[in-house]
Protein backbone atom coordinates (compact mmCIF):
# COMPACT_ATOMS: atom_id res chain seq x y z
CA UNK A 1 0.00 0.00 0.00
CA UNK A 2 1.55 3.36 -0.94
CA UNK A 3 2.25 5.77 1.88
CA UNK A 4 3.67 9.28 2.07
CA UNK A 5 5.99 10.08 -0.86
CA UNK A 6 5.17 6.67 -2.42
CA UNK A 7 6.90 4.81 0.40
CA UNK A 8 5.46 1.37 1.06
CA UNK A 9 3.15 1.18 4.04
CA UNK A 10 2.72 -2.32 5.41
CA UNK A 11 1.28 -4.27 8.31
CA UNK A 12 2.23 -7.48 10.03
CA UNK A 13 -0.59 -9.16 11.93
CA UNK A 14 0.04 -11.80 14.55
CA UNK A 15 -2.30 -13.79 16.71
CA UNK A 16 -2.26 -13.52 20.48
CA UNK A 17 -1.76 -16.76 22.37
CA UNK A 18 -5.12 -16.39 24.09
CA UNK A 19 -8.19 -14.13 23.71
CA UNK A 20 -8.28 -10.97 25.82
CA UNK A 21 -11.01 -8.48 26.58
CA UNK A 22 -10.67 -4.70 26.40
CA UNK A 23 -9.45 -4.50 29.99
CA UNK A 24 -6.65 -7.01 29.34
CA UNK A 25 -5.60 -5.55 25.98
CA UNK A 26 -1.80 -5.68 25.86
CA UNK A 27 0.44 -2.66 25.44
CA UNK A 28 3.70 -3.40 23.65
CA UNK A 29 7.17 -2.08 24.40
CA UNK A 30 10.06 -1.88 21.96
CA UNK A 31 11.43 -5.09 23.53
CA UNK A 32 8.10 -6.84 22.87
CA UNK A 33 8.27 -5.70 19.25
CA UNK A 34 11.81 -7.03 18.88
CA UNK A 35 10.79 -10.41 20.31
CA UNK A 36 7.90 -10.66 17.84
CA UNK A 37 10.11 -9.60 14.93
CA UNK A 38 12.78 -12.14 15.86
CA UNK A 39 10.17 -14.92 15.87
CA UNK A 40 9.20 -14.04 12.28
CA UNK A 41 12.55 -12.78 10.97
CA UNK A 42 13.14 -15.69 8.56
CA UNK A 43 9.57 -15.82 7.21
CA UNK A 44 9.49 -15.10 3.47
CA UNK A 45 7.08 -12.35 2.44
CA UNK A 46 7.96 -13.03 -1.19
CA UNK A 47 10.33 -15.62 -2.58
CA UNK A 48 13.52 -13.56 -2.27
CA UNK A 49 12.64 -11.28 0.66
CA UNK A 50 12.26 -12.18 4.34
CA UNK A 51 10.27 -10.30 6.94
CA UNK A 52 13.56 -9.51 8.70
CA UNK A 53 14.90 -7.76 5.61
CA UNK A 54 11.71 -5.77 5.24
CA UNK A 55 11.70 -4.81 8.92
CA UNK A 56 15.40 -3.83 8.94
CA UNK A 57 14.75 -1.31 6.16
CA UNK A 58 11.70 0.28 7.78
CA UNK A 59 11.88 4.00 8.59
CA UNK A 60 9.40 3.76 11.46
CA UNK A 61 7.79 0.86 13.29
CA UNK A 62 5.31 0.43 16.10
CA UNK A 63 3.39 -2.46 17.61
CA UNK A 64 -0.14 -2.06 18.86
CA UNK A 65 -3.10 -4.27 19.64
CA UNK A 66 -6.02 -4.05 17.24
CA UNK A 67 -9.11 -4.86 19.26
CA UNK A 68 -12.08 -6.09 17.33
CA UNK A 69 -15.52 -7.33 18.17
CA UNK A 70 -17.69 -9.82 16.36
CA UNK A 71 -21.44 -9.51 16.51
CA UNK A 72 -23.76 -12.49 16.16
CA UNK A 73 -26.09 -10.44 13.94
CA UNK A 74 -25.30 -7.49 11.65
CA UNK A 75 -28.90 -6.39 11.40
CA UNK A 76 -31.86 -5.45 13.59
CA UNK A 77 -35.35 -5.33 12.10
CA UNK A 78 -34.86 -3.07 9.03
CA UNK A 79 -31.36 -1.79 9.98
CA UNK A 80 -28.17 -3.38 8.63
CA UNK A 81 -24.54 -2.50 9.37
CA UNK A 82 -22.27 -2.34 6.33
CA UNK A 83 -18.94 -0.76 5.44
CA UNK A 84 -17.40 1.62 7.95
CA UNK A 85 -20.41 1.24 10.26
CA UNK A 86 -19.48 -2.42 10.75
CA UNK A 87 -15.74 -2.20 11.39
CA UNK A 88 -13.07 0.05 12.79
CA UNK A 89 -11.98 2.72 10.31
CA UNK A 90 -8.28 3.16 9.72
CA UNK A 91 -6.83 6.63 9.16
CA UNK A 92 -5.16 5.40 5.97
CA UNK A 93 -8.53 4.63 4.37
CA UNK A 94 -9.68 8.21 3.95
CA UNK A 95 -10.54 8.19 0.25
CA UNK A 96 -14.32 8.12 -0.40
CA UNK A 97 -14.05 5.10 -2.70
CA UNK A 98 -12.44 3.06 0.11
CA UNK A 99 -15.47 3.59 2.28
CA UNK A 100 -17.78 2.31 -0.41
CA UNK A 101 -15.47 -0.55 -1.40
CA UNK A 102 -15.41 -1.88 2.16
CA UNK A 103 -19.22 -2.10 2.07
CA UNK A 104 -19.42 -4.11 -1.16
Question: pLDDT per residue over 1-42, tens digit each?
Answer: 566 777 777 788 888 888 777 677 888 999 999 999 999 999
pLDDT value at residue 103 = 47
Model's pTM, two decimal places?
0.57
Question: pLDDT per residue over 46-95, tens digit each?
Answer: 999 999 999 998 888 888 887 766 667 777 888 887 766 666 555 555 55
Whole-number Cα distances in Å, 5 to 1, 2, 8, 9, 102: 12, 8, 9, 11, 25
Q: What's the sign of the alpha-carbon dihedral 85, 90, 11, 34?
A: negative
Q: Give the largest CA-CA distance in the chain.
A: 52
Measured between its terminal Cα atoms, the distance across the chain in Å is 20
In degrees and rounded to multiples of 5, residue 8 shows phi and psi of -65, 140
DSSP letter at 72?
A: S
Amino acid sequence: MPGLEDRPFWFCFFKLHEPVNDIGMPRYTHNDEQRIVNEERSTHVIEETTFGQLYDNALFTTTTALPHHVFEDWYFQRIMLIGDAAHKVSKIFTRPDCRLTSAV
